[in-house]
Structure 1
Amino acid sequence: MDWNRITRNWNRASQRLQDRFPDTDPDILSAPPPDLDHVARHVAERHDLTYAEALVEVQDLFFAESLPEPVRQKVA
């Protein structure tokens, strides 16, 4: 997963994250976190998940966001 590609369009990515995990704190996610680990830890804390569970969920959610634009449009 290319974290830089995700953070370049953080508005779209963070909206998908908040749609999937409504208990996330919009203030914490207003700017791109330094890495996926920070996002997974925040999701785990707010949604009663283990870190491992949250990491898998966040990776799955952001998979399409990490693809090149022409490919992402076909799978999204």
Structure 2
Amino acid sequence: MYGCEAWTISKQIQNKLEATEMWFLGRMLRIPWTTKKTNERVLNEANKRRSLVRIIRKRQATFLGHVMRR
């Protein structure tokens, strides 16, 4: 996520980020990719919510605050 403050997040990139986040969760829970589980079931098993895009947006807002103060 280094430099994420300067990223432009389109809908396509957001979808890829969310897919990557789900892939990471599946790997951490040792769920084979051939298993037919929905994203919601994986999130419930991990007791998590989607957070990667929210974290990036928060960092971007913080960075914008720093830029505006200059």
TM-score range, shorter chain: 0.3 to 0.5
Greater relative CO, 1 or 2 (CA 8 Å, sep 6+):
2
Larger Rg: 2
TM-score scaled to structure 1, two decimals? 0.31
TM-score scaled to structure 2, two decimals? 0.33
